Amino acid sequence: MEAQAQGLLETEPLQGRDEDAVASADFSSMLSEEEKEELKAELVQLEDEITTLRQVLSAKERHLVEIKQKLGMNLMNELKQNFSKSWHDMQTTTAYKKTHETLSHAGQKATAAFSNVGTAISKKFGDMRNSPTFKSFEERVETTVTSLKTKVGGTNPNGGSFEEVLSSTAHASAQSLAGGSWRTKEEELQC
């Protein structure tokens, strides 16, 4: 009997299933007409209080907006201030300081490593440029350019500068497209 009485007097809040059971139960038959009238009056009073509180809250929110406008505060400024404060608060934490220190140290090591890699690559290019294979390639390119200068530039022993060779080649190409005749550099100078 005591366990049954204890179940009726529980002080724990209602859980989901309990709320559903209470909502579907019809207690009106257990109430007298006088109790029903009192509960209805209390219900009307609570609804009126809720409506009044909503109106007061709405008026206070409007007043808050007016004050912020007069102070020049807007949503963007508030967000900036909140962000700045949050950023400052985060920077002052020990976790941030330790992480910043670690990343800074790692960055310094990475910079040194990249510098060493750059130096090694520069040295390899220097070694490669001094290699017999590269020298042979360089000589072949030089021979080809000299040959090209001689062919394009005519019998001029100097062959002209590379820019002059390109210019004369472009000029000759333009004349051949226009139906003109091929002239040597000396003929062009006589015109």
pLDDT attached to residue 41 = 95
Does 20 fall in a domain? no
**Are residues 42 and 83 located together in one domain of the fold?**
yes
CA distances (Å), origin 168, targets 22, 50, 177: 102, 95, 14
Q: pTM of the entire structure?
A: 0.30
Cα separation of 56 and 59, whole Å?
5
How many structural domains are present in the chain?
A: 2
Does 170 fall in a domain? no
Instruction: Provide the residue range defining the domain that includes 53.
Output: 32-92
Q: CA angle 71-77-81, nearest 5°?
A: 110
Q: What is the 3-state secondary structure (H, E, C) of 2-67?
A: HHHHHHHCCCCCCCHHHHHHHHHCCCHHHCCHHHHHHHHHHHHHHHHHHHHHHHHHHHHHHHHHHH
**Are residues 103 and 118 located together in one domain of the fold?**
yes
What is the block-wise mean pLDDT of the chain (191 residues), using blocks of 10 residues? 50 60 67 91 96 96 89 79 86 86 88 85 81 81 82 58 71 62 51 49
**Are residues 141 and 101 located together in one domain of the fold?**
yes
**Are residues 98 and 76 located together in one domain of the fold?**
no
